[in-house]
Amino acid sequence: MCTICGCGWTAENANHSSHRHGGDRAHHDHHWHGDDGSIHFGRPDDVHRSGQAQERILRLERDILSKNDVCAQANRARLLAAGQFALNFVSSPGSGKTSLLVRAVADLQSRFGVAVIEGDQQTSNDADRIRATGAPAVQVNTGKGCHLDAHMVGYALDRLPLQSGGLLFIENVGNLVCPAAFDLGEAHKVVVLSVTEGEDKPLKYPDMFARADLMLLNKADLLPHLDFDVEACIAYARRVNPEIAIYTVSARTGAGLSSFYDWIEARAGNVIRDVSYASG
């Protein structure tokens, strides 16, 4: 986490970050807004400090995660109160995660109000692709950070219209390691694995697959051209997480996406009913 993975949030950042509770949320001091509306975190001199004592690193790791969890709970309460069903999409770079989201947003906008938070180290390319569908999107650039955290998501929520009964898709930074540890306040983690990767990815990155509630096996249209064992991949994922739901899909052709949408609709409906009951 952070100092260990070298993502730029050093001890100095953790010690000097200010935190608010109650109706506000914890936040980092070092952030700024780009001309394109994107939110940037970190600072130019954030570098990994070598030679730190292991005990100090572990203390810092626990501190970072505990503060993140406080903010994640605030995000979750805020989203539930607004009737927002939030999904945190995680994957390796190049899995087709953004293409999948672009298609899903376009397909689901007639049923739900959809908003997106895009996480990348740099550029607003992915948010631009989402906005082209007509859906609101906020780009969060993490700088040297290799994952989104709950503080960043809290900032992004301030800049999004949250419609009751809506969907919030959070596209995390491409990384199958650190995003597994950081709760963002989402209802579920969705791990996207493409058939152009190895079928043993669930065994190589077990924490991510163990914490996900759904796996989307993407780029299924390429299977005739690849030596990829779908059954073995599914078996590996279920060895790590026997409860994980799995759908084989193609963002390019749309194959399998109806099952994914049904999965969303069933769970989003529960959130909407809970909010309606509480408000009534």
Please indicate, yes or no, whether the overall pTM of this predicted structure exceeds 0.75.
Answer: yes
Looking at residue 35, its pLDDT comes to: 76
Domain boundaries, the chain: 53-279
Q: Do the Cβ atoms of 239 and 210 come closer than 8 Å?
A: no
* Distance (Å, whole) CA 151 – CA 158: 11
* Residue 274 pLDDT grade (very low, low, confident, very high; cuts 50, 70, 90): low
Spatial contact of 187 and 166, defined as CB atoms under 8 Å apart: no
Between the alpha carbon of residue 252 and those of residues 27, 221, 246, the distances in Å are 38, 8, 18
Label residue 84 exposed, middle or buried (CB < 10 Å: 0-12, 13-18, 19+): buried
User: Nearest-CA neighbor of 147 among 217, 97, 95, 88?
Assistant: 88
Percent of the chain scoring above 70 in pLDDT = 80
Of 13-27, 70-84, 126-140, 152-166, the range with the lowest mean pLDDT is: 13-27
The fourth-level CATH superfamily of domain 53-279 is P-loop containing nucleotide triphosphate hydrolases (3.40.50.300)
Asked if residue 120 has pLDDT above 90, the reply is: yes
Give pLDDT tens digits for 218-271.
999 999 999 999 999 999 999 999 999 999 999 999 999 999 999 999 999 776
Residue 25 clears pLDDT 50, i.e. is over it: no
Alpha-carbon gap, residue 83 to 73, rounded angstroms: 15
Report percent pLDDT > 90 for the chain: 70
- Residue whose entry in the numeric block shows the structure tokens 């709970």: 73
Q: 261 near 104, Cβ under 8 Å?
A: yes
Kindly state the average pLDDT of the residues 176-185: 96
Under the banding of pLDDT at 50, 70 and 90, the label for residue 34 is: confident
- pLDDT tens-digit series, residues 155-174: 999 999 888 899 999 999 99
* For residue 23, pLDDT beyond 50: no
pLDDT band at 48 (very low <50, low <70, confident <90, very high): very low
pLDDT at 54: 66
